[in-house]
Structure 1
Amino acid sequence: MPDTPLFKQLDHIAIVVRDTEEALGFYRDTLGLPVVLSEEIPSGNVRLTHLDMGNVHLQLVEPLTEDHPLQAHLAEHGEGLHHLCFQTNDVCESLAGLPSRGMRAKSETPHDAPRGRKAGFIDPATTRGVVWEMTGPM
């Protein structure tokens, strides 16, 4: 088992929502969190909207197609916490090293993330049911 931490720091907390504009009525207007960026990721069919919480971003994740896997998540669980994302030095290297830590990636190929970054999910079956995502540094 490696003795170095897998993660450097918390990057964002992701909340899955049905409609970003409607959700901003609460997160931006009620809580007062300023919007940092909102970006559609065509390869993932999602809109990712980041709000500034001071030391970490809150990310609203809106699936943009009816067949997106997050639609099933919304139907079963409703809106709410989806995953925690941590920065790592190198996403590809970190994903490849998961088996040495007793975990596996959901996909060995990183997906597109905001601001041109890449990210990858760890299979929650190997993380005690918690959905973890890793992304590279900005």
Structure 2
Amino acid sequence: MEKESLFTGIEHIGIKALDLEKAVSFYQEVLGFKYLRRIKPGQVQLVFLELGGTVIELVEVIESYRFEDGVVNHLAIQVSDIFKAIEHLKDQQVEMDSFEPMPIGEGRYNFFFRGPSGERLELYQV
């Protein structure tokens, strides 16, 4: 019997947007992405768009956080239990950006950590 994985799929890819409205228009009108939702869980707005089953998250750029992690900001991995997944990462001595998952509304949580080359990764639980 196979063990059920905590990591269930790619949730979204985060992309920094210098002009959020221009980026939303480009992805929708030029590339045909479908609008999913817009949220503001902190200082910046986030817009989620989907094309062919792949979701991107456009991350509004504010000057103090311009490109600290590049234009492609992060890869979000969907998890079935974010708390167990964080414990798993701790057991593997993975570099963490924070200590606890952040509630982002509607029963969703996220948590940022680093891959072996310093790449920014996110756990995302719906």
TM-score range, shorter chain: 0.7 to 0.9
1:86·1:134 contact (CA, 8 Å) conserved in 2?
A: yes
Q: TM-score, normalised by structure 1?
A: 0.76
1:97 aligns with 2:122: no
1: CA distance, partners of 2:107 / 2:6: 22
Question: Amino acid of the residue matched to residue 93 of structure 1?
Answer: K
Give unmatched runs, 5+ long, in structure 1: none
Structure 1 residue 14: Cα displacement: 0.6
Amino acid corresponding to residue 130 of structure 1 in structure 2: E
Mapped partners of 2:105, 2:26: distance in 1: 22
> How far apart are the structure 2 equivalents of 1:6 and 1:127?
19
Superposition pairs of residues 20-99 of structure 1, within 5 angstroms: 20-41=20-41, 44-63=42-61, 66-67=63-64, 70-73=65-68, 77=70, 80-99=71-90
| Aligned counterparts of 1:106 and 1:47: Cα–Cα separation in 2 | 20
Is the 1:48–1:114 Cα contact (8 Å) retained in structure 2? no
Deviation at 1:28, TM superposition (A): 1.2
Distance 1:104 1:26 in 2: 35
1:15 alignment counterpart: 15
Deviation at 1:104, TM superposition (A): 2.9
**Residue pair 1:52, 1:58 contacting (<8 A) in 2 also:** yes
Whether the 8 Å contact between 1:39 and 1:114 is mirrored in structure 2 is no
Cα distance in structure 2, aligned partners of 1:101 and 1:5:
15
Encode CA deviations 1:99-127: one digit per residue, 9 max, x unaligned.
Answer: 222313211111233644110001x2x52
More helix by share: 1
Residue-by-residue CA offset, 1:19-53 (whole Å, 9 max, x unaligned):
21011232111101111111111xx2111101012
Q: Which moved more, 1:107-116 or 1:24-33?
A: 107-116
- In the alignment, structure 2 segments of 5+ residues that lack a partner are none
Q: Give the alignment's TM-score, normalised by structure 2.
A: 0.83
CA separation in 2, counterparts of 1:85 and 1:13? 6
Among 116, 119, 123, which residue is 1:127 paired with? 116
The change in CA–CA distance for 1:6 and 1:104 in structure 2 (over 3 A counts) is farther
Q: Distance in 1 between matches of 2:16 and 2:54?
A: 17
